[in-house]
Structure 1
Amino acid sequence: MSSAHLLDPQLKDFFESMPPLTLSRETIVQVRAQREAMALAQMPPLPPEVSIVQEYAPGRNGAPNVRMKIYRTPSDRKDRPAILHLHGGGYVLGSPESMAPQCCAWAKGMDAVVVAPAYRLGPETSYPGNVEDAYAALAWIYKHAVQLGIDTTRIAVAGESAGGGLAAALALLVRDRKEYAFCHQQLIFPMLDDRTAVRTDLSPMFGEFVWTNEKNHYGWASLLGHPPGSDSVSPYAAAARAEDLSGLPPAFISTGAMDLFTEENLDYAKRLMAAGVPVELHVYPGAPHGFMWVENARVTKQYARDAWDALSRGLGAA
């Protein structure tokens, strides 16, 4: 049974004409290169007033240094907010460069310092490489906070898809290590639960477009280094595995009603609320995974307003 009849009319042509994507260990390097080239070719001009520099955070426990892109505007302020942004890509694709327009918009519009690390991807690197790289980037922000004019009480973590799942996992790790803190977590259709990849009862109304459960299984297996769904998966790999969600920063969670991750996102939001964490939750009708690629669609514009408002309030930049 197809879910195509549920697509928002303004999204329908784009998603029904999208070419298929096959992920495998044999093709992953080529697919990455093709997607990066396409993203860069389609990227609009970036605002000249935003400085973009590359830095490296020391890797943890002997791991390689973590390459990062730093976005900021010239300012003498000493109380700027910061955003640690983690890109999406199913834990196997993506780069900070592909999200430059969004990072520039935050830096310009919120006067924020945006740090976007190129965390290690699967299948070449399995958990905990990705979350330790993200943690190293956060440690670098704290170390350079005075130099960058960052108020360390106003640091948010944000991400889309796998980046959203990694942001949620990092928020758990930061809470438990007690070295640093986030004021807000911005989770956009986050990839939270490896058990979704082995479900046999999932409605066909979820995950027909873009990120299917076949791709999901590959992504999780690549991250974990073994098939998903086992009993031994860490919550710092799959945040939905955490038993205790108390003490986490306020969360903005959004997803499309047709996204593969809809059910796990709704469940995570419900559990956060039950643990006493402030949550703002949005589910956009007729929207599959990655729906905001259609920038002129009404649902995309609504999402953009909601997400911007929530992040700016979470940072105290409203």
Structure 2
Amino acid sequence: MPFDPEAAGVLGGLAGLRAAEPASPGEVPRWRARLAEVGPDPTVEELREGGRFEVVERAVPGPVGAPEVPLLITRPVGLSEGAPVVYHLHGGGMISGTGRTGVAGILREWAEPLGLVVVSADYRLAPEHPYPAGVEDCYAGLVWVALHAAEFGGDPERIVVAGGSAGGGLAVAVALMARDRGGPRLAGQLAMCPMVDDRDTFSARQMAGRGLWDRRANGAGWASLLGEARGTERIPPYAAPARATDLSGLPPAYIDVGAAETYRDEAVAYASRIWQAGGDAELHVWSGGFHGFDQIAPDAAVARDARAARVRWLRRVLDR
């Protein structure tokens, strides 16, 4: 599969990072250290951008018997009360990232133009905390957000759960949990290049060794989360949502993915199965897009189109 030529221009400069991607759970600490060197997450003060955004950190009750879940509650300064809420789950292959990962871009591109509150969860990571720690943290955070939205100026009836990569997989898993547990009624689920299937797909094999986060690194993420159970029939749908047998009764979904990346086929299959269940899903497969193209090559035309399409979908869903 060819890469978009405009976006692919950045890949040469990332060869060192690509070479450092983990091949096993034992390499996760080295991978995290490498990420911290290349691009550390912004501080809370940096996210405030000199008074442009309000940013508050708060720890809320976690799953039963587990630690509290740190949440980052952010909003444009001067935002009216009763604003829609995006509940954000960060990416990082289930093994890296923090509640601040990716938030700066979401504040500028979603929160400010659409008038949103953004709440980002800092869930526990594998392999130190394998399934179900991370997804249960995410669900506990969502329950708290729905119950307390009015306290930080949010509308509990207009919550969209969103994430990219591992965060995309967690977003759809949390939507499944909310349906099955009679939890918060979500306005939508937005999954960017979601990590939803622990089994190998054709696109994972096709793109092995190419682009970012290929089959080898993805395997390290899943092995960290699931251990030796990965690939067996013992995997529950909240761990790998592609395993879900019933995708009916879910909130409207937005799913996008690059045509030239590991997660292409699992994302397309997930959207197709929502349609087969009679649900509402909007799917975009971006020609030539590799994993993370929209953030790594933000000025490429395909990256601008991908980011703009998400904003249009959010506006439509939240205006319903």
TM-score (norm 1): 0.91
Unmatched 5+ stretches in structure 1: none
Amino acid at match of 2:53: V
Partner of 2:268 in structure 1?
266
**How many Å separate the matches in 2 of 1:70 and 1:45?**
11
Q: 1:40 to 1:276 in 2, by over 3 A?
A: same
For the 8 Å contact 1:36–1:94, the answer to whether it is kept is: no
Distance 1:37 1:141, change over 3 A: farther
Task: Tell me which residue corresponds to 2:65.
Answer: 62
Provide, for residues 93-120 of structure 1, a one-character-per-residue CA deviation record: whole Å limited to 9, x for no partner.
1112221212322332222111101111
Q: 1:232 offset after TM fit, Å?
A: 0.8
Equivalent residues in 2 for 1:1-318 (5 A)? 3=1, 6-18=2-14, 19=16, 20-23=19-22, 24-40=24-40, 47=49, 48-75=51-78, 77-105=80-108, 106-196=110-200, 203-205=205-207, 208-292=210-294, 293-316=296-319
Which 4+ stretches in 1 moved above 6 angstroms?
41-45
Q: Check whether the contact 1:184–1:251 (CA below 8 A) recurs between aligned residues.
A: yes
SS in 2 for 1:98: coil
1:61 shift after superposition: 0.8
Query: How far, CA to CA, are the matches of 1:111 and 1:226 in structure 2?
Result: 44
Distance 1:91 1:135 in 2: 15
* Percent identical: 38
Superimposed CA distance per residue, residues 184-205 of structure 1 (whole angstroms, 9 cap, x where no aligned partner): 0001010010012xx5895524
Contact 2:173 2:237 (C-alpha < 8 Å) held by counterparts: yes
Q: TM (normalized to structure 2)?
A: 0.91
Cα 1:146–1:126, aligned 2, differ >3 Å: closer, same or farther? Answer: same
State the SS of the aligned residue for 1:88.
coil
Contact between 1:50 and 1:107, CA under 8 Å: does it hold in 2? no
Distance 2:91 2:66 in 1: 22
Superposed CA deviations along residues 19-72 of structure 1, whole A, max 9, x for unmatched, are: 212314443223223313432389987543211111111111110111111111
**Partner letter of residue 73 of structure 1?**
P
**Structure 1 residues 51 and 284, CA gap change in structure 2 (3 angstroms):** same
Q: Which moved more, 1:237-246 or 1:270-279?
A: 270-279
Contact 1:46–1:104 at 8 Å: present in 2 too?
Answer: no
Aligned residue type for 2:166: A
Do the aligned partners of 1:206 and 1:257 also contact (CA within 8 Å) in 2?
no
Distance in 1 separating the partners of 2:310 and 2:203: 31
1:158-205 CA-partner distances (Å, limit 9, x unpaired): 000010001011100000000211110001010010012xx5895524
Structure 2: unaligned runs, 5 residues or longer: none
